[in-house]
Amino acid sequence: MRCSRLLLQRSNALALYRRSVNTWSAVGAAFNVQHQRLEPLQKNVGLFGVPELSGPAGFQMAQHQALREAEFLVHKACTHPPGAVTVETFDQLSDSLCRVADLADFIKVAHPDAAFREAAERTCVEIGTLVEILNTNVDLCQSLKNLLGNEAVLATLDSDTRRVAELFMFDFEISGIHLDESKRSKAVALNVKLLDLYHEFLSGSQLPNAIDKQVLPEHIRHCFSIDGNRVQIGGLHADSPNELVREAAYKIFLYPNTSLLLCLDELLAGRHELATLVGYESFAHRALKGTMAKTPGKINRATSRDFKMMKEMKKKTHTTNPEVMPWDHAYLSSAIRTEMFNIDPSIYSPYFSLGACMEGLNRLFMQLVGVYFQAEQPKMGELWSEDVRKLAVVHETEGLLGYIYCDFFRRPDKPHQDCHFTIRGGRLREDGVYQLPVVVLMLSLPPPSGRTPSLLTPSMVENLFHEMGHAMHSMLGRTLYQHVTEIIFYPLPENLVSRLCESKRVCSAADTQLQIFYAALDQVYHGKPQYRSTTDILREVQEKFYGLPYVHDTAWQLRFSHLVGYGAKYYSYLMSRAVASMVWRQCFLQDPFSRVMGEHYHREMLAHGGGKEPVLMVQGMLQKTPTIEDFVDALVLDLNANVKSPVL
């Protein structure tokens, strides 16, 4: 369970926490002013301070070094007597490869220089291939079996070490270690092929679609990017007040791409073949046991109420099509909130400078868990873009916890996605020194200009809190092994805060239903083969789980990039929301800034990383073992609290 979802709930209370502020701290100022150029005569320290990465060729050097280290550690693991050192060696092996692969995984999508991106991509493929080979290495697996099969040795291990050993063994099992040599080789080949398909699908899912500009009505062409006689449409334009713009963007951006459809077919087929090869009924069975795809009727009824409100709102726009269509969902929801509570983003943005939000997060973390940010001056070559900010995360008594690189601002060719990247996991090194975690947060915020700071909309603030929750989970986790690892918005009037909080209750059921649709589609795609097109499956699942009709000649699944990273696990968004709801209501509702509960949350949930079973962490936090019914009830309770029936 990560803290990002809980931070969103606490952010509403945060805006009511008042204290006079006359000047910005160094943290607030760092994000409210334009970047300062580094002195060109400084020594180039390489990306993230890795000396080899002062140029693209450095990836090959870092890769070769990681491969040599891996070879040594594999030999050590296979020849050393079973004991705690076995697990430590496995973790060293994982860390040596992940330190290079994780960094490359970020650079291949975020670096503005194509040479860096291409070099990083090649490194990802090479390291990924080696990982798949190691996951079917019989001698390496046997060294772990010797440990797990020796009860006397196991009794000497602490619970974290035993858990990590079991996780490594699980990796072997799902990779087909039990198969004969020919089938193991086939499993490796399938995994390597899937790595290529993942890259192809993710790249294709981000590309715009182009259409002859003559096809579009002249009066809406200016809403899109025009390249000669072609119009480039790279998004849904879901917030546009012009219905025709929304409809055109939806139909063109989601128009089926034949080669990408074939790629997705091959990807899903490859995952199923791999799963059955290693002994699972489907890829979904391999990825998880149990799911929240079975949704209660209570949510469906609340969703119907939301769609009725949207239909009434659409009538007021003098539309030619009175039915609510998929391209209307986001816009009509926003229009209802604006009409009911007058929460036009332009009213709030002057209060939500990025510096103010970061200062607010800084104070929140200090209040709850005794942690604060320090703005640091990066060195030459450390950053991939000059507008990136570097934060040190410091505990009031424990000292430096790690670093967060904040890649927050829009720039040409930067992916338009909000996400969190682990660059280096935290772990206790062999010399007794803790390896500090390093992460990157990537957002798409407007940059500051001159004396004007970056001003955020309420939805941007939510995204910032969500992604910072991921980062702080990495910072606050203190595991032995990396394998598991004032007024804030002053002087914002209280009535504006109240209206913003109330507005979040509008159409929340429809938004939840959309997430259920995504989770259900993910499950069906990764279940038993359907022997029909992914678009036909999409149409059926959408009609069953969403409530708005499928639009002919569209293929939304080709923009569902989460299919790669969250294959058969997209439901975890709903699960996290349910857990956050339970934790919020039981532990923080009465006092959102309780240091006692903040420390309890840190101790029971955040500190373990992946070194403890998630259900045990929730059990420790709530002092009860939640059932699947508890998770569903928590979602429904949120909807019942959020849904009101206003008269439009």
pLDDT at 191: 94
pLDDT at 25: 76
pLDDT at 327: 96
Q: Please, is 79 exposed, middle or buried when counting C-beta atoms within 10 Å of its C-beta (0-12, 13-18, 19+)? A: exposed
Helices (H) and strands (E) in the chain, counts: 25, 10
Q: How far apart are CA 613 and CA 134, in angstroms?
A: 25
pTM beyond 0.85, yes or no: yes
* Structure-block tokens of residue 204: 């294709």
The residue type of 284 is: A
Question: Nearest CA to 581 among 623, 625, 618, 620?
Answer: 618
Active-site residue set: 467
pLDDT at 300: 60
- Relative orientation angle of helices 159-174 and 84-110, to the nearest 10 degrees: 60
Partners of residue 428 on adjacent β-strands: 434
Q: How far apart are CA 202 and CA 561, in angstroms?
A: 6
What values do phi and psi take at 329, rounded to 5? -55, -55
Partners of residue 232 on adjacent β-strands: 210, 225
DSSP single-letter state for residue 353: B
Q: Is 38 within 8 Å of 379 (Cβ atoms)?
A: yes
pLDDT at 626: 87
Ranges of the chain with pLDDT below 70: 1-24, 35-41, 289-301, 483-490, 641-648
Peptide bond into 345 cis (omega under 30): no
Sign of the alpha-carbon dihedral angle for 527, 533, 539, 540: negative
Report angle CA 116, 464, 28 to the nearest 5 degrees. 95
DSSP single-letter state for residue 62: H
Domains of the chain: 55-135+137-175 (1.20.1050.40), 207-255 (no CATH), 349-473 (3.40.390.10)
Q: Please, is 156 exposed, middle or buried when counting C-beta atoms within 10 Å of its C-beta (0-12, 13-18, 19+)? A: exposed
pLDDT at 642: 55
pLDDT at 17: 40
Question: Nearest CA to 203 among 125, 260, 265, 255?
Answer: 260
String of DSSP letters for 443-501: EEEPPPBTTBPPB--HHHHHHHHHHHHHHHHHHH---S-GGG---TTTT--HHHHHHHH
